[in-house]
Amino acid sequence: MRGNTRRRIGVVAAMGAATMLALTACAGNAAAPTDEAPQLELSDEPVTLSFTWWGNDTRHAITEELIAAFEAEHPNITIEPQYTDWAGYWDKLSTSVAAGDIPDIIQMDEKQLSTYAANGVLMDLGGLSSVLSTEDYPEAVLGTGALDGTQYGVPVGINSYTIIANQDLLDQYGVDLPDDETWTWDDFIATAQEVAEASGGAVSGTQSWGFEDGGLNNWLRQHDSALYDADGEIAASEEDLAGWWEFLLDATKDGATPDPAATIERESGGLAESFTATNQSAFGPWWSNQVQALRDASGQDLVALRVPTSKGASDGWAYYKPSMFWSASAKTEHPAEVATFLDFLANSEEAADLLLAERGVPANEKIRDYITPKLDEVNQTVVGFLDDLAPQVGDAPAATPPGGGVIEAIIDQHTQQVLFGEMTPDEAAASFLEQLQQALEDAAV
């Protein structure tokens, strides 16, 4: 019996070892970088590339049209689409990388780019430059897809953080739209309070924020700080972080934002159930690429305003955030075809005609100029907003270091603690730094 058991354990161990071996062999281990750029020769043989993205059904339909247009031009290339929603996307991508099944073309997010790049999953797109041109991209924007000088992603669209104001609600309660060129955070809160009081509590002044990194980034930059430094270390100070949560908490106490329970409830519901989308809040912080979806949902006149400033903030705190990147697998067998497809996505007017602004206002300036007249009214306004902002835009924030992808979850968690009074802003700042540091250390390769 005992020998029997030992033999069983032996078998179990062997099975486990075999699977472990597979894991070890398959993971996207950093391939030794080769100095010479790969020879980019298009094959005459049929080539199949896999292409993965996240999004909703509108995006899936547009992207499949794109694929069809590309395949019509390149009959020997077949693009296999793989799509999911945002949450499922990362589970699936990391699992397939673990098994070595990396899709050839990957839609990548800024907060995940460095994590995947540092683990050798993504290709150095510089090696594709003979086919994939990036000359129509402004240096600063292109730089957001590069880490230590290596280009891992081509930025697709650009966004900016914005305060969305509901003009109809403001009119209804007789509150003037503030001047967003000069307004400060205090003006913002005062106006929000005014609306909340005028409506007798029927609508809230502003939707709360503190659930993603956009608001925090803006705040830190207005305080001459940043989330990360160029070395990938955390640069934010405990003091600035505490100040941010303090301000958020005061806004709630003063009645400018809804009570915490309502805020958290809407937050877990996503865009469609938000106060802004349901016309229950005069203001709300959003990204500029969400204006269209918000307008569709609310049916009212929504205006994108600049983020208020902190007193004494120096210029250049505003920034363009890349909505997403086109990246490629470091292990693809068909770099030439991948480059051809990426070039089609990034630089062709044909693709732009289909994409329009669905993945954000194009980061490629030539394409942006080409497509702007073809956009609908709402998106033209967004382009105008981004253009007007240009003088205030400073350097892009330092790239999110590997492991920083969880920052939204950490911010969200601490904002909840602060709003419900489980932590003081000071405690939240300390705990935030500790958890973010832990996440970065966990991700260190």
Partner 1 sequence: MSALGELRRIKGTSAPKSRKQNTAAFLFLLPWFIGLALITVGPMAASFALSFTRYNLLSPPRFIGIENYLRMLQDERLHTALAVTFQYVFISVPLQLGLALALAILLDRGLRGLSLYRSAFYLPSLLGASVAIAILWRQLFGVDGLVNVVLGWFGIEGQGWISNPETALGTLMILNVWTFGAPMVIFLAGLRQIPVMYYEAASVDGANRWQQFRRITLPMLTPIIFFNLILQLIGAFQSFTQAFVVSGGTGGPVDSTLFYTLYLYQQGFANLNMGYASAMAWLLLVIVAALTAINFWASKYWVFYDDQD
Partner 2 sequence: MTKTDPSTDLSPLTESVVTGLPPERVREQRRRRHPFRKPLTSILRHVFLIAAAVLMLYPVIWMVVSSFRPTDLIFREAGLVFDSFEISNYVDGWNALTYPFNVYLLNSGLVVIGSIIGNLVSCSLAAYAFARLEFTGKKFWFAIMLLSIMLPIHVIIVPQYVLFSQLGWVNTFLPLIVPKLLATDAFFIFLMVQFIRGIPRELDEAARIDGAGHPRIFLQIILPLMVPALATVTIFTFIWTWNDFFSQLIFLTKPGLYTVPLALNAFQDAQSSTDFGELFAMSVVSLIPIFLIFLFGQRFLIKGIATTGIK
Binding site for partner 1 (CB under 8 A): 11-13, 15-20, 23-25, 27-30, 87, 90-91, 94-95, 97-98, 115-116, 119-121, 259-265, 267-270, 273, 403, 405-406, 409, 412-413, 416-417, 420, 422, 439, 442-443, 445
- Pattern of binders to partner 2 over 20-39, x per CB under 8 A? --xx--x-------------
Query: Taking CB under 8 A as the criterion, which residues in 409-428 touch partner 2?
Result: none
Q: Tell how strand 105-108 and strand 47-54 pair up.
A: parallel
Local structure of 35: helix, strand or coil? coil
Which does residue 59 touch among partner 1, partner 2, none (CB within 5 to 8 A, set by kind)?
partner 2
Whichever of 208 and 289 has its CB closer to partner 2, that residue is 289
β-partners of residue 322 are 158
Q: How many angstroms separate the first and last alpha carbons of the chain?
A: 44
CA 357 to chain centre: 15
Q: Which CA distances in Å does 273 have to 297, 307, 309, 311, 368?
A: 9, 23, 28, 33, 31
Which does residue 116 touch among partner 2, partner 1, none (CB within 5 to 8 A, set by kind)?
partner 1
β-partners of residue 183 are none
How far apart are the C-alpha atoms of 322 and 159, rounded to whole Å? 6
How far apart are the C-alpha atoms of 85 and 72, rounded to whole Å? 27
| Whether the Cβ atoms of residue 381 and residue 295 lie closer than 8 Å to each other | no
Whichever of 149 and 270 has its CB closer to partner 1, that residue is 270
Number of residues forming the site for partner 2 (CB under 8 A): 48
Query: Taking CB under 8 A as the criterion, which residues in 298-357 touch partner 2?
Result: 298-299
Provide, rounded to whole angstroms, the least separation between the CB of residue 259 and partner 1: 8
Provide, rounded to whole angstroms, the least separation between the CB of residue 143 and partner 1: 23
Return the residue of 277, 361, 383, 419 that touches partner 2, per CB under 8 A: 277
Provide, rounded to whole angstroms, the least separation between the CB of residue 416 and partner 1: 5
Which does residue 420 touch among partner 1, partner 2, none (CB within 5 to 8 A, set by kind)?
partner 1
360 Cβ neighbours under 8 A, 6+ residues apart: 156, 157, 158, 159, 289, 322, 323, 324
Write out the DSSP string of 89-144: HHHHHHHHHHTT---SEEEE-HHHHHHHHHTT-B--GGGGTTTS--TTS-HHHHHT
Whichever of 225 and 278 has its CB closer to partner 2, that residue is 278
Write out the DSSP string of 350-375: HHHHHHTTTTSEESSHHHHHHHGGGS
Q: Which two tokens stand for residue 445?
A: 């390769």
Return the residue of 99, 202, 230, 444 that touches partner 2, per CB under 8 A: 99
Which does residue 261 touch among partner 1, partner 2, none (CB within 5 to 8 A, set by kind)?
partner 1
**Interface stretch with partner 2, choices 52-60, 123-131, 174-182, 219-227 (CB under 8 A):** 52-60
**Interface stretch with partner 2, choices 82-90, 144-152, 176-184, 437-445 (CB under 8 A):** 82-90
Using alpha carbons only, give the angle 31, 133, 379 rounded to the nearest 5 degrees.
110
Residues of this chain that bind partner 2 (CB under 8 A): 4, 19, 22-23, 26, 50, 52, 54-61, 64, 80-88, 91-92, 95-96, 98-101, 270-273, 277-279, 289-290, 292-293, 296-299
